[in-house]
Amino acid sequence: MTAAIYTLDQLCLAYPNSRSSGSVLALDQITLAISPNEVVGIIGPNGAGKSSLLQLLNGRYAPNSGRILLSGQPLQQQSAQALARQVATVAQISSAPQGLCCEQVAAMGLLPHKRWYEGTSAQDLQQVRLALQQVGLADKAQLRADTLSGGELQRLNIARALVQQATILLLDEPTNHLDVKYQHQVLQLLQGLNKTIICCLHDLNLAARYCQKLLLLENGKVRAYGTPHDVLRPALLQQVFGLPCVVSSQADYGWLQVTFIPELAHAKVGVPSPC
């Protein structure tokens, strides 16, 4: 059996409550192992704890209790630079640094690999250009990043993460702002990278299509973790998302398709409709 790249053991995270002296428990006793080179989708309703979990996995937040091992070593004991060489994060909402062109923003991914006095080599530049090409932004390399559309900026952030050459990519809603073609292009790109990809996704159909494993969170707790077939069960999804749904298998390709049908909540099963 392959050693886990992440081992989470009874992780809890609480935020201070802004209106009282208490706290908000965002993650509650999370225990699981993530295998290397898998694409893992974190799914669940708003406020379930998805983004908070990413912030623990990239070391930005420390758990209130429990522990995280990264490649068998306690994550909290690793230096920021050592972490940045292993883990790259693409945040949910970001604004472009003012006045920098796309090539310069993507090149920021080189920083964890450089000493302060080292400049950008021809090889670095080649790597940056390849990443921009991979996300479909080669023709915008010299444009100012703060003039990009939301979707283009999202792709630029992914290019920066690719340049970082980390073995783990953490992405918060990587398909936000993307049109349907780029949603698939970005997820196909991530899937083909042979890296550990952990991403929060609201679109369950994209999650079913591109993720090998799904982690379903609700109120900071793990409701299910496994393959899309293990996790995307209609009764469970209805409980967690509060809407009836049907889950079907796409006939030609076999991946699962979730369709939420709010009308079913009001359907009177077994009562014939009046003529």
Task: Indicate which single residue of 30, 41, 52, 218 sits in contact with ligand ATP (rule: CB under 6 A).
Answer: 52
Q: How many residues bind ligand ATP (CB under 6 A)?
A: 11
Kindly state whether residue 216 participates in binding ligand ATP, applying the rule CB under 6 A: no
Q: Are residues 153 and 94 in contact, defined by beta-carbon separation less than 8 angstroms?
A: yes
49 belongs to the binding site for ligand ATP (CB under 6 A): yes
State yes or no: residue 63 binds ligand ATP (CB under 6 A): no
Among 2, 21, 46, 77, binds ligand ATP (CB under 6 A): 46
21 binds ligand ATP (CB under 6 A): no
Query: Interhelix angle for 150-163 vs 122-134, to 10°?
Result: 140
195 in Cβ contact with 37 (< 8 Å): yes
Euclidean distance between CA atoms 119 and 109, whole angstroms: 13
Whole-Å CA distances, 244 to 104, 205, 238, 259, 265: 47, 16, 5, 9, 6
Amino acid at 49: G
Q: Closest CB to ligand ATP among 49 and 174?
A: 49
Distance, in Å, from the CA atom of 28 to the CA atom of 12, rounded to the nearest integer, reads: 5
112 is a site residue for ligand ATP (CB under 6 A): no
Closer CB to ligand ATP, residue 50 or residue 140? 50
Task: Identify which of residues 51 and 64 has a Cβ nearer to ligand ATP in the complex.
Answer: 51
CB of residue 51 to ligand ATP, shortest distance in Å: 3
What length does the chain have?
275
Residues within the interface to ligand ATP (CB under 6 A): 15, 24, 26, 44, 46-52
